[in-house]
Structure 1
């Protein structure tokens, strides 16, 4: 068995490079804040049903591109690492009544 390497299409951001990424992120955050966007951080995993409903069970994303597992709850629930953020942001918007503030809600996420 050989050396375990990063997955194809990914790369490590090494300590000498992190500062550059932090600068880019800080500039993006400043621009978004000036435009009255607020950051939201949905969980990295959600119930699988959220993506099946939002994306559609028949799509390639749901069928081939999601990492799904059962948690340890009783009974077990199907949980998925989020393949994209929109569905989780919409769920959080509804669940936490962000609409109650009225007007347009400008949100950004990573």
Structure 2
């Protein structure tokens, strides 16, 4: 993988749009979930003593006193959205 700088981004956007159109024709539709989630979602879905929780999650408190996490990947968020 490599970073996409502005001069390369437009081609990438065009490829994403073409793929999105094909997926929609086949009956699939995009879902977008929050980048930040309540930390309990990840602890509950992957366990408290895993490498993901201990090494790969960026967790912090917000202004309301809740603990939120920058999602390490999107599976738990998509499952939460549909449940």
**TM-score relative to the length of structure 1:** 0.69
Gaps of 5+ in 2: none
Match of 1:98 in 2: none
Regions of 4+ moved over 2 Å: none
Match of 1:35 in 2: 26
CA displacement, residues 1-54 of structure 1 (integer Å, 9 cap, x when unaligned): xxxxxxxx863x222101111122112212211221111111110001100111
Query: 2-side partners of 1:66 and 1:88: how far apart?
Result: 14
CA displacement, residues 50-106 of structure 1 (integer Å, 9 cap, x when unaligned): 001111111111110011000110xx1110011111111111112xxxxxxxxxxxx
* 22-31 or 58-67: bigger deviation: 22-31
* Cα distance change, pair 67–10 in 1 and its aligned pair in 2 (3 A): farther
Three-state SS of the structure 1 residue aligned to 2:68 is strand
How well do the aligned residues superpose, as a CA RMSD in angstroms? Answer: 1.5
**TM-score relative to the length of structure 2:** 0.90
Higher share in helix: 2
Gaps of 5+ in 1: 1-8, 95-110
Q: Tell which structure's C-alpha radius of gyration is larger.
A: 1
**1:82 matches 2:71:** yes
**1:92 matches 2:77:** no
